[in-house]
Amino acid sequence: MRTIVFLDRATLSVDLPDFPFPHRWIEYPCTTPEQVVERCRDAQIVVTNKVPLPGDALAQLPQLELIGVPAAGVNHLDLETCRKRGIGVVACPGYSTLSVPEHAFALMLALRRNLVPYWRDVHAGGWSGSPTFYAELHPLEDLYGSTLGIVGAGHGGKRLAELASAFGMRVLFAERKRASAVRDGYIAFDQVLREADTISLHCPLTDETRHLFGIAEFERMKPSASLVNTARGGIVDEAALIEALDRKLIANAALDVLEQEPPAANHPLLSNPRTDLIVTPHVAWRTQVAMTRLVTQLAQGIEQHYAQC
């Protein structure tokens, strides 16, 4: 009988299907890094959404056979140690192909139409005091005819491109930064920075993409451009983003992810409300459709792993 330990069950508010093989199920709402080895010592299968499994922890888990990740990203795992040890990894790429691009598109619309600043000003009386029937309090931009730069051409990036094309946008897929050649269907990274009216991030967090967007990148973007990040917080240098907004290097930004989650109460991006920034609490993936796809994909991946053994 295999033991399955779910380290952060509170991150997944949906029922998991029962597995067809004999097993003992143990779950914890959350787990600190110091508790990982003790809780997983007798486990053959560990499920972790965000709890890190570094090499030193894996070295102390000789019975571990498989890691299930109810998410698309696996940057919290030591994949090299997993490979050397023969530990299988089941992740869920593509489960949020519909939900995350829709959220990104909603954020993009909100930024280009300045919806949050308009609501704040209308609530404060900005419309009531207008001399005309309307109150043009902020600039409004159409998506039609504008250019969208997408960083990451996986499931999410391609789906966003479909939505953008339906709105009449010109779509550019960015080549990797500092790439020696530009692949068919891609545009040089720097050219995308220069031409895009909106840039949306849909790439994984890796050593190559960490702080992919810093001051140098913001300085090459249009002053009227928007940045949307529904991928991973570490892809954007948050201190650089604050500087870019303060210096008006870009018009505005919207984030569904931060480098530290949950953020500290005094996080610089959250401590003062600002009209050029929208932050949502990592919820782009949390639609009912996405949750159903997620648990189905995770369960099927675990079952298939053992079916092949």
Q: What are the beta bridge partners of residue 147? A: 170
Q: Return the axis-axis angle of helices 99-112 and 155-166, rounded to nearest 10°.
A: 50
pLDDT for the residue 246: 97
Tokens of 281: 């609490």
Pick from 3-7, 281-285, 305-309: least confident: 305-309
| Of 126, 110, 106, nearest in space to 283 by CA | 106
- Mean pLDDT over 73-85 rounds to 94
171-184 pLDDT tens trace? 999 999 999 999 99
Overall pTM surpassing 0.95 (yes/no) = no
DSSP notation for 55-69: HHHHTT-TT--EEE-
Catalytic residue of the set 9, 159, 202, 282: 282
Is 208 labeled as catalytic in the residue annotation?
A: no
The residue type at 208: E
E-only strand ranges, the chain: 2-6, 23-27, 45-47, 66-68, 88-90, 147-151, 170-173, 198-201, 226-229, 252-255, 277-279
Closest by Cα among 254, 146, 253 to 197: 146
Kindly write down the DSSP assignment for every residue of 198-209, as one continuous string.
Answer: EEEE-----TTT
Using DSSP, state whether 306 is helix, strand or coil. Answer: helix
| Homologous superfamily of domain range 2-92+289-307 | NAD(P)-binding Rossmann-like Domain (3.40.50.720)
Does position 309 have pLDDT exceeding 90, yes or no? no
Structure tokens at 22: 């004999």
Q: Average pLDDT of the chain?
A: 95
pLDDT of res. 19: 87
Ranges of beta strands (E only) in 214-285 are 226-229, 252-255, 277-279
**Where does CATH 3.40.50.720 sit in the chain?**
2-92+289-307, 99-279
The model's pLDDT over 210-231, given as tens digits with 9 standing for 90+, comes to 999 999 999 999 999 999 999 9
**Is 282 considered catalytic here?**
yes
CB 293 within 8 Å of CB 95: yes
Positive or negative torsion for Cα 166, 172, 175, 181: positive
Q: Could you give the CA distance from residue 285 to residue 293 in angstroms, rounded to a whole number?
A: 11
The CATH code belonging to domain 99-279 is 3.40.50.720
What pLDDT does 200 receive? 98
Q: Which of 63, 66, 69 is nearest to 51 (CA)?
A: 69
The Cβ-side half-sphere exposure at 77, using a 13 Å CA radius, reads 23
Please name the helix (run of DSSP H) or strand (run of DSSP E) that holds residue 288, with its range, or none.
Answer: helix 288-307
**Residue reference for tokens 């965000």:** 50
pLDDT in tens, 100-123: 999 999 999 999 999 999 999 999
* Calpha distance 88→79 (Å, rounded): 10
Helices 99-112 and 115-123, packing angle to 10 deg: 60
* Distance of alpha carbon 237 from alpha carbon 215, whole angstroms: 8
Phi, psi angles (nearest 5°) of residue 106? -60, -40
**Tokens 């954020």 found at:** 107
Among 9, 112, 155, 232, the one annotated catalytic: 232
